[in-house]
Copies of this chain bind each other. A is one copy, B any other.
């Protein structure tokens, strides 16, 4: 059962676990984290809902949508549940401002939540508890598979959110459909035949094709299984199954060790800023400095950033040419967060990159210094002002990390900011309230009513 050399009947164990799990088995902190993940996911989705990738994909797929039974976050148009699952996965993940699972860097919510919400809208009354339960199990399946194939899988070139996500979406959809153990094995088998997504596509709209499919095809996998489309017994651990084919050194035991005892959702993180995570402590430091009474952006003479070698390697980029590049530029992150006292999506747009005030401040940021004493979660920023004043802040643990998670209030603020950016026609407070109230909801799909423009 343990170790790299002893595959156990992994697929069947997962299927049995999902089929047998009861809501009462899910501890309160896990339930809470499910809500926080979903809240963060809706925020990311509102922010991404008007992005061109989203708009073009909707235009392309709408003619192939049947009964308009499900919603797309931020859009009035309704589509069938498969198309909705696809598009909602796209909007959640398009900016990479969604959640991150520690260790695998899977974005767990994007494939799973759109699948369960589409089913909740498209099928007769599914309660909030049922939806949350399925979501928890789906995230568990995708992240455990991710653990088992990490780090080799991503390193080889697989976009792990898409490739593992389809299994999570299939498990979650299968749970909502009430599949038994055997049919859940088939659902995972049907998912295995559809697992795809390449790192090469990152940075292009094609990334979202893989992510969208993970949610859509998870539902397809479960619906097919429900209807008797059978798969192999060991799609995950078999000799030509998912784990061995996509990873050179899979850890079979990692899939099932401690199943039901510890939960992967507890390792989920929410980004405070829409940029590379190594920049989190830098931005934290700048925002803190900006709040000091003696600080004035106009008086800045010079800014020094010190951090881990990875920080320099990935983000020492003094002149980003686009919003996308700015997301991995320490100089840009420092400039906007000092100048605007914020670091939201609008601060990493093409417009922000071209803002003359941002450009002026950016030029005052020195090349990143490496300080071997600082961990990758840490950074030190020193601002020298005209007249000799010197403001310095060291962040040991960045916000958004597991050690310093975003508070509920911070998550709500993130949702509101993203709604204002991507879809001002949605009332974020109404949506936030419905999400927090999901455990009491008799119809989970009604959350989506608050995610559409009025």
User: Does the CB pair B241–A229 fall under 8 Å?
Assistant: no
Size of the A side of the interface (Cβ < 8 Å), in residues, is: 63
Within the complex, which residue of B56, B156, B224, B235 is in contact with A224, where a contact is CB–CB below 8 Å? B56
Within the complex, which residue of B159, B189, B242, B244 is in contact with A204, where a contact is CB–CB below 8 Å? B189
Does A65 sit within 8 A of B, measured CB to CB? yes
In the complex, how many angstroms separate the beta carbon of A260 from the nearest chain B beta carbon?
26
Task: Beyond the given A63-B80, A64-B80, A199-B240, please list 13 additional residue pairs across the A-B interface where CB-CB is below 8 A.
Answer: A52-B228, A56-B228, A63-B66, A157-B241, A189-B204, A192-B201, A193-B198, A194-B210, A195-B196, A198-B245, A201-B232, A203-B232, A205-B231
B-facing residues in A42-101 (Cβ within 8 Å): 52-53, 56-57, 59-61, 63-67, 80-83
Chain B residues near A256 (CB-CB < 8 A): none
User: Does the CB pair A231–B204 fall under 8 Å?
Assistant: yes
Chain B residues near A195 (CB-CB < 8 A): 196, 198
Distance A65 CA – B242 CA, assembled complex (angstroms):
29
In the complex, how many angstroms separate the beta carbon of A269 from the nearest chain B beta carbon?
24
Does A239 sit within 8 A of B, measured CB to CB? yes
User: Does the CB pair A232–B245 fall under 8 Å?
Assistant: no
User: Does the CB pair A157–B245 fall under 8 Å?
Assistant: yes
Does A398 sit within 8 A of B, measured CB to CB? no
In the complex, how many angstroms separate the beta carbon of A224 from the nearest chain B beta carbon?
5
Does A213 sit within 8 A of B, measured CB to CB? yes
User: Does the CB pair B66–A157 fall under 8 Å?
Assistant: no
Does A221 sit within 8 A of B, measured CB to CB? yes
Interface residues of A (CB under 8 A from B): 52-53, 56-57, 59-61, 63-67, 80-83, 156-159, 162, 186, 189-190, 192-201, 203-207, 209-210, 213, 217, 220-221, 223-224, 226-232, 234-235, 238-242, 244-245
Known: A193-B162, A194-B213, A245-B156. A59 touches B200 (CB 8 A): no
Distance A207 CA – B198 CA, assembled complex (angstroms):
21
User: Does the CB pair A232–B244 fall under 8 Å?
Assistant: no
Pairs of residues from A and B, 7 with the lowest C-beta to C-beta distance, nearest first? A206-B231, A157-B240, A157-B245, A199-B240, A196-B196, A193-B210, A200-B240
Say what secondary structure dominates the interface of chain A.
Answer: helix
Within the complex, which residue of B52, B64, B217, B244 is in contact with A66, where a contact is CB–CB below 8 Å? B64
Distance A106 CA – B81 CA, assembled complex (angstroms):
33
In the complex, how many angstroms separate the beta carbon of A159 from the nearest chain B beta carbon?
8
**What are 21 inter-chain pairs, A to B, with CB distance below 8 A?**
A53-B229, A56-B224, A57-B224, A57-B227, A60-B229, A64-B83, A66-B80, A157-B245, A189-B201, A192-B198, A192-B201, A192-B206, A193-B209, A195-B198, A200-B241, A200-B242, A201-B235, A204-B230, A205-B224, A205-B231, A206-B231
In the complex, how many angstroms separate the beta carbon of A198 from the nearest chain B beta carbon?
5
Distance A196 CA – B245 CA, assembled complex (angstroms):
11
Q: Which residue of B has the minimal Cβ distance to A189?
A: B206
Q: Which residue of B has the minimal Cβ distance to A86?
A: B220
Distance A162 CA – B217 CA, assembled complex (angstroms):
15
Known: A224-B60, A227-B56, A245-B158. A238 touches B194 (CB 8 A): no
Chain B residues near A229 (CB-CB < 8 A): 53, 56-57, 60, 205-206, 209
Distance A65 CA – B83 CA, assembled complex (angstroms):
11
User: Does the CB pair B66–A223 fall under 8 Å?
Assistant: no
Chain B residues near A227 (CB-CB < 8 A): 56-57, 59-60
User: Does the CB pair B228–A204 fall under 8 Å?
Assistant: no
Distance A179 CA – B156 CA, assembled complex (angstroms):
31
Distance A332 CA – B61 CA, assembled complex (angstroms):
48
Distance A204 CA – B235 CA, assembled complex (angstroms):
11
Distance A157 CA – B238 CA, assembled complex (angstroms):
10
Chain B residues near A201 (CB-CB < 8 A): 189, 192-193, 231-232, 235
User: Does the CB pair A238–B200 fall under 8 Å?
Assistant: yes
User: Does the CB pair B198–A235 fall under 8 Å?
Assistant: yes
Distance A196 CA – B123 CA, assembled complex (angstroms):
29
Distance A230 CA – B209 CA, assembled complex (angstroms):
10
User: Does the CB pair B67–A198 fall under 8 Å?
Assistant: no
In the complex, how many angstroms separate the beta carbon of A148 from the nearest chain B beta carbon?
16
Q: Which residue of B has the minimal Cβ distance to A52?
A: B228
Chain B residues near A210 (CB-CB < 8 A): 193-194
